[in-house]
């Protein structure tokens, strides 16, 4: 079985050494970039399964790298786990807004980081064993191909947005709490509840007019309305 490829984009030499050692010991294939533009170039050329991406980097910061990767269909599906010394709420929300799948604040436990990595990779490698196609309101999700179309036009979603839309569309009419949606889309990552609002806002924007089918349920969270007559 092929090793999962992980790209570390981090300029702190001692941390790179620790991460490389532990990831290789876990059986991962590891590549390293210590500068932002180098990290973007390696991500585009090597197409790793997951990127450990520092927020503050020389040359090009982690947010800009994340934006560029998510904007290109070839790299949009790569799992991105952000590493940062910052711990403020705004930093975490911005990280998710540009498409990060998870977020770890330094200093962190290597054991916890490895578990987060396993969760993200497992989701990519082992999709749920149910119907590969979900269709409603002009939206079509092809889980096998990991593609979404709106009125037959393809759109590009981050992995988290893809799982969020899938979760809502599988049970139209059900009101999901923000905690429900974060569990389904992000897993056991410790994140702020309002980050789900950031993901929903981005998802609605990408869906265009059909984004109105993702309704806000006041005091609860969100639901997917698959017909004009649904309440």
Q: In the chain, what are the domains?
A: 5-125 (3.40.50.2300), 133-224 (1.10.10.10)
Asked if the model's pLDDT at residue 93 lies above 70, the reply is: no
Which of 18, 12, 79 is CA-nearest to residue 43? 79
Of residues 189 and 112, which shows the higher confidence score? Answer: 112
Return the SS3 of 217: strand
How does DSSP assign 194-212, residue by residue? THHHHHHHHHHHHHGGGGG
Instruction: Pick the more confident residue, 145 or 29.
Output: 29
Residue 104 has a pLDDT of 84
Contact 198, 96 (CB under 8 A): yes
Q: What is the pLDDT of residues 198-222, one digit of tens each?
A: 889 999 999 999 999 999 998 889 9
pTM of the full structure:
0.61
Q: What is the pLDDT of residues 8-46, one digit of tens each?
A: 999 999 999 999 999 999 999 999 999 999 999 999 999
Residue 51 has pLDDT above 90, yes or no: yes
Given this model, what pLDDT does residue 150 score? Answer: 94
In the three-class reduction of DSSP (H, G, I as helix; E, B as strand; rest coil), residue 155 is classed as: strand
Q: Cis link prior to 107 (omega < 30° from 0)?
A: yes
Check pLDDT > 70 for residue 125: no
């Amino acid at each position: 079985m092929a090793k999962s490829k992980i790209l570390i984009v981090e300029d702190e030499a001692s941390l790179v050494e620790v991460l490389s050692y532990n990831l290789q010991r876990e059986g991962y294939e590891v590549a390293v970039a210590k500068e932002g533009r180098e990290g973007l170039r390696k991500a585009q050329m090597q197409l790793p399964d997951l990127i450990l991406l520092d927020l503050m980097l020389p040359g090009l910061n982690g947010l800009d790298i994340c934006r560029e990767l998510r904007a290109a269909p070839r790299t949009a599906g790569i799992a991105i786990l952000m590493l940062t010394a910052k711990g403020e709420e705004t930093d975490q929300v911005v990280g998710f807004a540009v498409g990060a799948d998870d977020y770890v604040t330094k200093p962190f436990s290597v054991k916890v980081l490895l578990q987060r990595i396993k969760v993200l990779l497992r989701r990519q490698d082992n999709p749920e064993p149910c119907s590969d196609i979900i269709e409603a309101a002009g939206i079509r999700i092809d889980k096998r191909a990991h593609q979404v179309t709106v009125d037959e036009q393809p759109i590009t979603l981050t992995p988290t947005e893809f799982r969020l839309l899938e979760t809502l569309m599988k049970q139209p009419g059900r009101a999901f709490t923000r905690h429900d949606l974060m569990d389904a889309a992000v897993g056991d990552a410790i994140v702020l509840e309002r980050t789900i609002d950031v993901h929903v806002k981005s998802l609605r924007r990408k869906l265009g007019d059909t984004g109105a089918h993702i309704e806000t349920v006041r005091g609860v969270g969100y639901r997917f309305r698959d017909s004009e007559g649904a309440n």
